[in-house]
């Protein structure tokens, strides 16, 4: 039986982020992708022109239609637009938690371009109601800070501190993405109760970073399905590492792409059609440091 991965997120008509990125990523991992659209945007590689939430009851009806029919192995939740939609999704997840499988929450608040995609009043609901239901939360540094009500971390020690704070706030596991910090090395922080692991890789010099957060969270969700992670055991470090390796390959393959009519401006997409790297290790590896 084909593994099923489910995305609940916003739509990106330019194809680099959101639902479109998630479905392409699922296909790259060889799993069957399905999706419920929680928000509509008018955006491209230059930025977000407009964002419009989908009615919460329609979001719930989409999700329910999938759960009533398909056996879902993993679910990725991305952009939910506003407080009403976040609350409606949280109610449904709480009521039918086991049917969502491994749950990866990407608390999309700000696009790569800097455009805000989640209203401020919704952040508290994400923190208080969705975060404790997730097996993994994948904020970038500004999103981690918003969830904690703090200023963004400015160095690696601050990122580690905020990852630990999110676990203390109720997250089962957290991957704080370090892409906003400067340097030739990009380090993400994976934290869960009693464990912190710093995962490093060379930073790839490219403007084509549109949708990297969406792509990473969906790659981790797909990898968790393929590797057989379960909510009872929690998401495995190998699923995190394989998702990161896929994103690195997708960034590298698209580093010199030029899709836009405006060369040198904006942020182009990654190459979602790369082959995910095969699992080659278990546990800590070179590039992983336990803090």
pLDDT tens profile 103-113: 999 998 765 55
Sorting pLDDT into bands at 50, 70 and 90, what band is 286?
very low
pLDDT band at 284 (very low <50, low <70, confident <90, very high): very low
Nearest to 127 by CA among 147, 110, 108: 147
The answer to whether 209 is a known catalytic residue is: yes
- Is the model's pLDDT at 183 over the cut of 70? yes
Residue of 209, 236, 266, 268 marked catalytic:
209
Which listed residue (74, 75, 212, 215) is catalytic? Answer: 212
Structure-model confidence comparison of residues 79 and 288, the more confident one: 79
For the cut 50, the answer to whether the pLDDT of residue 285 exceeds it is no
Candidates 234, 150, 143; CA nearest to 194 is 234
Rounded CA separation 64/34 (Å): 12
Smallest Cα–Cα separation from 210: which of 283, 279, 288, 115? 115
Q: Say what percent of the chain tops pLDDT 70.
A: 92
Judge whether 251 and 268 are in contact, CB under 8 Å.
Answer: no
Distance of CA 245 to the CA centre of its chain: 14
User: What 3-state class would DSSP assign to 104?
Assistant: strand
φ, ψ at 89 (rounded to 5°): -70, -40
pTM of the model: 0.93
Tokens of 76: 């990725």
Is 85 among the residues known to form the active site? Answer: no
Residue 279 has pLDDT above 80, yes or no: no
Query: Regarding predicted confidence, which is higher, 263 or 287?
Result: 263
Helix runs in 189-286, H state only: 212-227, 237-253
Q: Domains (ranges, CATH) in the chain?
A: 4-275 (3.40.1190.20)
| Secondary structure of residue 13 in the 3-state scheme | coil
Collapsing DSSP states into helix, strand and coil, what is residue 191?
Answer: strand
The catalytic position among 211, 243, 266, 268 is: 211
> How far apart are the C-alpha atoms of 164 and 94, rounded to whole Å?
24
Model confidence at 277, pLDDT cuts 50, 70, 90, reads: confident
Question: Annotated catalytic residue: which of 25, 177, 243, 268?
Answer: 177
Burial (0-12, 13-18, 19+ Cβ within 10 Å), 41: buried
Residue from 15, 39, 178, 213 carrying the catalytic annotation: 213
Cα 197 → chain centroid: 18
CA distance 248 to 259: 20
Of all residues in the chain, the percent with pLDDT exceeding 90 is 75
Please say whether the beta carbons of 142 and 109 come within 8 A.
yes
Which whole-number Å values give the CA distances from 234 to 104, 127, 193, in the listed order?
A: 11, 19, 12
Distance of alpha carbon 79 from alpha carbon 37, whole angstroms: 9
212 is catalytic: yes
**Distance between CA atoms of residues 127 and 169, nearest Å:** 8
98 DSSP assignment: G
d(CA 104, CA 289) in angstroms, rounded, equals 23
Of the pLDDT bands very low, low, confident and very high (cuts 50, 70, 90), residue 290 is low
Q: How far is it, in rounded angstroms, from Cα 21 to Cα 161? A: 30
Catalytic residue flag (residue 76)? no
What are the C-alpha distances in Å from 119 to residues 38, 76, 86, 122, 281?
Answer: 14, 20, 10, 6, 40
3 state DSSP class of 84: helix
Catalytic residue, candidates 214, 215, 243, 266 = 214
Which residue in this structure is represented by tokens 């490219």? Answer: 206
Q: Which residue has the tokens 């995305």?
A: 7
Across residues 60-89, what is the average pLDDT? 96
């Amino acid at each position: 039986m084909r593994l099923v991965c489910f995305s609940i997120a916003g739509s990106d008509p330019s194809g680099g982020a959101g639902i479109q990125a998630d479905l392409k990523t699922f296909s790259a991992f060889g799993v069957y992708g399905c999706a419920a659209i929680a928000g509509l945007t008018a955006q491209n590689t230059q930025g977000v022109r407009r964002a419009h939430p989908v009615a919460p009851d329609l979001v719930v009806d989409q999700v329910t239609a999938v759960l009533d029919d398909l056996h879902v192995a993993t679910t990725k939740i991305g952009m939910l637009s506003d407080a009403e939609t976040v609350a409606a999704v949280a109610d449904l997840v709480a009521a039918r938690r086991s049917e969502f499988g491994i749950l990866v929450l990407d608390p999309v608040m700000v696009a790569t371009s800097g455009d805000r995609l989640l209203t401020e009043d919704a952040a508290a609901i994400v923190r208080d109601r969705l975060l404790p239901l997730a097996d993994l939360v994948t904020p970038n540094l500004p999103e981690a800070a918003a969830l904690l009500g703090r200023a963004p971390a400015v160095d690696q020690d601050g990122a580690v501190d905020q990852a630990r704070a999110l676990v203390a706030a109720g997250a089962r596991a957290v991957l704080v993405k370090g892409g906003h910090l400067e340097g030739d090395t990009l380090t993400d922080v994976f934290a869960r109760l009693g464990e912190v692991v710093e995962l490093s890789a060379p930073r790839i010099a490219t403007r084509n970073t549109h949708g990297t957060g969406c792509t990473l969270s969906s790659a981790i969700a797909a990898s968790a399905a393929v590797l057989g992670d379960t909510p009872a055991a929690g998401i495995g470090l190998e699923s995190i590492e394989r998702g990161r390796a896929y994103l690195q390959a997708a960034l590298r393959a698209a580093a010199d792409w030029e899709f836009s009519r405006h060369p040198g401006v904006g942020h182009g997409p990654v190459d979602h059609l790369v082959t995910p790297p095969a699992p080659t290790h278990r546990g800590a590896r070179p590039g992983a440091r336990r803090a």
